[in-house]
Amino acid sequence: MANRKKLHVKKGDTVMVLSGDDKGKTGRVLTVYPEKERALVEGLNIVTKHRKPTAQNTGGTIDKIEAPIHISNLMVTVGGKPTRIGRKRDEDGKLQRVAIKTGEIIK
């Protein structure tokens, strides 16, 4: 069974890419794959996918799609600036994600 640690990136977060071809670009997280420690970010890490001809699509296609990025190369942005994520318990004892730079709670 894979390691079940919490990830700093969640679906809907705005993230900045730290390394690779899309370094410095930002986008919204569409999907997180915790078992692979990767995330799919809207409009980033575009790859070319060749699709074989099928009965519905007799000619085949060449599509540009987003590919997952390893979460170690992503940093959550709060207010347009990248920040590290910490965890803090609220009054009810529930863990909340907190921006280290500003101290504000991330929903």
Written as tens digits, the pLDDT of the chain (107 aa) is 456 778 899 999 999 999 999 999 999 999 999 999 999 999 999 999 999 999 998 999 999 999 999 999 999 999 889 999 999 998 898 999 999 998 889 88
85-98-27 Cα angle (round to 5) = 55
Is the pTM here over 0.85, yes or no? no
CA distance 107 to 99: 10
Residue whose pair of structure tokens reads 């809207």 in the numeric block: 42
Q: What does the pLDDT look like over 74-90, one tens digit per residue?
A: 999 998 899 999 999 98
Domains and CATH numbers, the chain: 14-82 (2.30.30.30)
Determine the pLDDT at residue 3: 63
| DSSP symbols for 41-71 | ETT-SEEEEEE---SS-TT-EEEEEE--EEG
